[in-house]
């Protein structure tokens, strides 16, 4: 389902980054929207401030290859256990118990029929206020993600790219990127970068994503084509150096060249420490960004996990070949 974040965008931002009333800047436009609407979300979780130790989560799925106890072996980055969620307004149950563990350095893909709950899953991870978590747990970098508001999730290193990136009238792309970047640096106890230093940091990233410098002075996503918005999302990801990128249909609406650019940029950001969870309908994306695991979602659950051959089977035989019903 297409995200309606842009329709709900409630802020009217000042036209300049130097405006004094712009104190808390979340780390991407989607998160801006989420933060602005997250009071209901906070209610749902009653601000439980418990920190669930990672060790308490043991998910038995093919994607949960256990750490071998060697000091430098990959650590789990995201651990989702029996996650259930409903639509806040109607209480309709959408997620029926998701189990998934993603280790550092891993790329996972989630595929599934329209309406199977893929976007809902990603939005629940982002803390979208349209959904209430009704059960289960999500641990990110050893901390209880469900206790964090959307902005905190973003500061913690979670990046979400949504199907329909939001537009932010009155805020230039470069101001937005710099403020977002500095907000995370501040959280990390690092000194903010001034405009010139930031431009030096940004320039190679523009080249990697193949975005023209003229996009920096335009308002965030305003008037951008679908493909330009997706590239811009990846530019944000590159700037924020997130630990975990959740990319919801990053391939939709992209021409072949744009798809390759975006994929190349995502791949260039990959390190042994960060991970990607991508939602897609098409195997062609997996030719460019190669996942270690492909998960099939059906009716709000992961019903099957395999490697990329699962996506090939889907393409040939359709979802009936893997359906649980």
Ligand X SMILES: Nc1ncnc2c1ncn2[C@@H]1O[C@H](COP(=O)(O)OP(=O)(O)OP(=O)(O)O)[C@@H](O)[C@H]1O
* Residue 115 zone, left/alpha/beta (φ > 0; ψ -120 to 50; rest): left
Q: Closest CB to ligand X among 152 and 298?
A: 298
Among the residue ranges 7-15, 108-116, 139-147, 311-319, the one whose residues contact ligand X (CB under 6 A): 108-116
Among the residue ranges 25-33, 110-118, 167-175, 219-227, the one whose residues contact ligand X (CB under 6 A): 110-118
H, E, C per residue of the chain: CCCCHHHHCCCCCCCCCCCCCCCCCCCCHHHHHHHHCCHHHHHHHCCCCCCCCHHHCCCCCCCCCCCCCCCCCCCEEEEEEEEEEEECCCCCEEEEEEEEEEECCCEEEEEECCCCCHHHHHHHHHCCCCEEEEEEEEEECCEEHHHCCHHHHHHCCEEEECCCCCCEEEEEHHHHHHHHHHHHHHHCCCCCCCHHHHHHHHHHHHHHHCCCHHHHHCEECCCCCHHHHHHHHHHHHHHHCCCEEEEECCCCCCCHHHHHHHHHHHHHHCCCCCEEEEECCCHHHHHHCCCCEEEEEECCEEEEEECHHHHHHHHHHCHHHCCCC
> Closest separation between CB of residue 300 and ligand X, Å?
8
Select from 103, 112, 42, 97 the least CA-distant residue to 76. 103
Work out which of 94, 98, 111, 245 binds ligand X, going by CB under 6 A: 94
> Closest separation between CB of residue 224 and ligand X, Å?
21
Taking CB under 6 A as the rule, does residue 301 contact ligand X?
no
> Closest separation between CB of residue 194 and ligand X, Å?
41
Among the residue ranges 31-39, 48-56, 111-119, 141-149, the one whose residues contact ligand X (CB under 6 A): 111-119
Work out which of 120, 154, 173, 182 binds ligand X, going by CB under 6 A: 120
Q: Closest CB to ligand X among 121 and 181?
A: 121
Q: Which residue has its beta carbon closest to ligand X? A: 1
Q: Closest CB to ligand X among 243 and 248?
A: 248
Taking CB under 6 A as the rule, does residue 116 contact ligand X?
yes
Taking CB under 6 A as the rule, does residue 160 contact ligand X?
no
Taking CB under 6 A as the rule, does residue 318 contact ligand X?
no
Q: Closest CB to ligand X among 1 and 7?
A: 1
Phi and psi angles of residue 30, each rounded to the nearest 5 degrees, phi first: -65, -40
Taking CB under 6 A as the rule, does residue 115 contact ligand X?
yes
Taking CB under 6 A as the rule, does residue 130 contact ligand X?
yes
Taking CB under 6 A as the rule, does residue 114 contact ligand X?
yes
Taking CB under 6 A as the rule, does residue 87 contact ligand X?
yes
Q: Closest CB to ligand X among 1 and 58?
A: 1
Residues in contact with ligand X, total (CB under 6 A)?
12
Q: For binding to ligand X (CB under 6 A), which residues are involved?
A: 1, 87, 94, 112, 114-120, 130
């Amino acid at each position: 389902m297409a995200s309606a974040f842009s329709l709900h965008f409630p802020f009217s931002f000042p036209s300049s980054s130097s405006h004094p009333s712009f104190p808390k800047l979340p780390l991407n436009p989607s998160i801006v929207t989420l933060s602005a609407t997250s009071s209901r979300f906070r209610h749902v979780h009653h601000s439980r401030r418990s920190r669930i130790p990672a060790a308490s989560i043991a998910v038995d799925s093919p994607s949960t290859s256990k750490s071998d106890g060697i000091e430098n072996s990959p650590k789990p980055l995201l651990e989702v256990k029996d996650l259930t969620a409903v639509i806040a307004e109607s209480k309709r149950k959408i997620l029926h118990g998701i189990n998934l563990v993603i280790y550092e350095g891993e790329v996972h893909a989630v595929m599934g029929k329209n309406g199977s709950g893929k976007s809902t899953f990603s939005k629940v991870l982002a803390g979208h206020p349209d959904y209430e978590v009704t059960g289960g747990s999500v641990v990110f970098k050893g901390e209880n993600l469900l206790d964090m508001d959307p902005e905190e999730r973003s500061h913690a290193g979670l990046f979400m790219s949504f199907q329909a990136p939001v537009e932010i009238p009155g805020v230039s792309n470069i101001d937005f990127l710099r403020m977002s970047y500095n907000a995370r640096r501040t959280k990390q106890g690092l000194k903010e970068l001034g405009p010139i230093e930031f431009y030096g940091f940004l320039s190679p990233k523009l080249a990697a994503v193949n975005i023209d410098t003229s996009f920096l002075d335009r308002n965030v996503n305003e008037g951008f084509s679908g493909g330009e918005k997706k590239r811009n999302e990846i530019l944000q990801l590159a700037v924020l150096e997130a630990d975990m990128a959740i990319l919801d249909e990053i391939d939709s609406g992209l021409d072949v060249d744009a798809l390759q650019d975006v994929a190349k940029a995502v791949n260039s950001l990959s390190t042994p420490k960060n991970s990607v969870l991508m939602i897609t309908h098409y195997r062609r994306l997996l030719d460019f960004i190669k996942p270690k695991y492909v998960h099939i979602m059906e009716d709000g659950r992961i019903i099957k996990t395999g490697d990329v051959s699962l996506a090939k089977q889907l393409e040939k035989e359709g979802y009936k070949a893997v359906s649980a019903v």
